[in-house]
């Protein structure tokens, strides 16, 4: 069976994701689609609007065959580590190919960029450090270094978020010495961070979430933008747990954590460096909401995404040493759901897997799953009703993989 992989967050699954799924099947001619999906917290340092179980169900009902979880040490990371963990899991699961969305949809430009970087690595790294010293953010420094090197204008535009991820996916493939084949397709209509709807049927997940929260969890304006199965699952989640998740629901917890921590304790948190802990401490006392805090703490040097990830690691009390020892290579693959075809595929390959495929938490060691367990417990604290928290955690510890025949 020919398997193709996709790296996803599905926050929530919308029509743009459905387009990507359909085009992935066409491009790769795959029999099976495997999705490696972030868990409760996401790459940009924010909580998922609904749990990983609800999002896995959306994926399966839309046509994904296997959904596995990208662990916290990779899911909440800068693009390079996020991509490495994702491709490592798809490679471990025996995928023949993977397909990602990009602004240009041309895989050759990504290949050229990888080759150009390898040929000019020392110069490239020196330029990045020089741009950062001049006050640029890391993504801007990266993009400017590429522009300086790319005399013939053949490299991919690394000022675009999907192109940055795509570049790191292919870089990860090379690091892993994997035979997995990369494909890319053009993003349709909406850009990654668009805050407003840009089409009657296609919108970014960012704009969909913004609309849902601006309208007090009313889903009526999003019905044309997501498959009916996604709407149904969102409505079921709201009825079951009483709300959706956003950073504001964790604001008081975050504020307490910062105020009650010493500067030394904040400095020990992953990604906190260069004295930013002093600015975080001061801004959190002045702000009345998470959004206000972010606007106060943001500088030209630190992007919103990077600061939001710092905030997440403070919220989860994730120390530098915890993260570093768990991100060399995934320790396990947690299975969230599968179709009948997906189960058939896993039965064929499970004896060849280089790392354990987990369907039950009790079969994996405490040290390996420590950060994911902690993330689940803190995510549940965002629910206002104590019974809802208990319900979500019971699902986390006891839920077997979803099976969609």
Binding site per annotation, positions: 7-20, 101, 162, 187
Q: How many residues does the chain have?
A: 405
Rounded distance between C-alpha atoms, residue 11 and residue 52, angstroms: 9
Helix (H) or strand (E) holding 131: helix 121-133
Distances (CA, A) of 101 to 141, 336, 356: 23, 23, 29
- CB contact set of 94 (below 8 Å; sequence gap of 6+): 3, 349, 352, 353
Rounded distance between C-alpha atoms, residue 382 and residue 128, angstroms: 38
Concatenating the DSSP letter of every residue in 175-201 gives: HTT--PEEEEEE--SS-TT-SS--SSS
Report the binding-site residues for ATP: 7-20, 101, 162, 187
Measuring CA to CA, which residue among 371, 350, 370 is closest to residue 359? 350
Rounded distance between C-alpha atoms, residue 49 and residue 355, angstroms: 30
Can you state the angle between helices 386-398 and 228-241, rounded to 10 degrees?
120
Measuring CA to CA, which residue among 50, 374, 375 is closest to residue 235? 50
Residue with tokens 């491009």: 27
Pair 38, 305: CB distance under 8 Å: no
Rounded distance between C-alpha atoms, residue 228 and residue 236, angstroms: 12
């Amino acid at each position: 069976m020919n398997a193709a992989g996709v790296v996803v967050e599905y926050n929530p699954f919308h029509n743009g994701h459905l387009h990507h799924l359909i085009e992935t099947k066409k491009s790769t001619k795959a029999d099976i689609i495997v999705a490696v999906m972030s868990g409760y917290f996401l790459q940009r340092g924010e909580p998922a609007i609904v749990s990983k179980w609800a999002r896995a169900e959306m994926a399966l009902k839309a046509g994904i065959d296997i959904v596995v979880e990208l662990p916290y040490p990779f899911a909440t990371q800068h693009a390079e580590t996020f991509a490495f963990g994702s491709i490592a899991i798809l490679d471990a699961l025996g995928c023949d190919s993977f397909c990602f969305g990009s602004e240009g949809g041309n895989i050759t430009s990504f290949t050229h960029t990888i080759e150009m970087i390898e040929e000019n690595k020392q110069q490239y790294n020196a330029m990045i450090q020089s741009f950062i010293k001049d006050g640029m953010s890391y993504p801007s420094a990266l993009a400017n270094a590429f522009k300086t090197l790319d005399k013939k204008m053949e490299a991919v535009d690394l000022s675009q978020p999907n192109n940055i991820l795509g570049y790191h996916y292919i870089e990860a493939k090379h690091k892993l010495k994997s035979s997995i084949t990369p494909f890319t397709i053009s993003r349709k209509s909406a850009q990654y961070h668009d805050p407003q709807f840009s089409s009657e049927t296609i919108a970014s997940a960012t704009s969909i979430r913004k609309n849902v929260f601006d309208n007090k969890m009313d889903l009526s304006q999003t019905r044309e933008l997501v498959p009916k199965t996604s709407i149904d699952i969102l409505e079921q989640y709201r009825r079951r747990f009483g709300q959706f998740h956003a950073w504001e629901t964790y604001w008081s917890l975050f504020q307490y954590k910062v105020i009650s921590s010493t500067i030394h304790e904040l400095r020990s948190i992953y990604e906190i460096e260069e004295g930013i802990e002093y600015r975080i401490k001061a801004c959190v006392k002045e702000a009345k909401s998470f959004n206000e805090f972010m606007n106060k703490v943001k500088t030209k040097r630190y992007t919103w995404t990077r600061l939001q990830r710092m905030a997440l690691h403070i919220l989860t009390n994730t120390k530098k040493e915890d993260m570093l020892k768990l991100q060399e290579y995934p320790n396990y693959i947690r299975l969230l759901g599968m179709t009948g075809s997906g189960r058939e595929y896993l039965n064929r390959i499970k004896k060849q897997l280089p790392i354990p495929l987990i369907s039950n938490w009790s079969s994996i060691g405490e040290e390996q799953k420590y950060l994911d367990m902690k993330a689940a417990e803190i995510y549940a604290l965002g629910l206002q009703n104590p019974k809802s928290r208990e319900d979500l955690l019971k699902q986390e510890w006891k839920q077997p993989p979803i099976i969609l025949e």
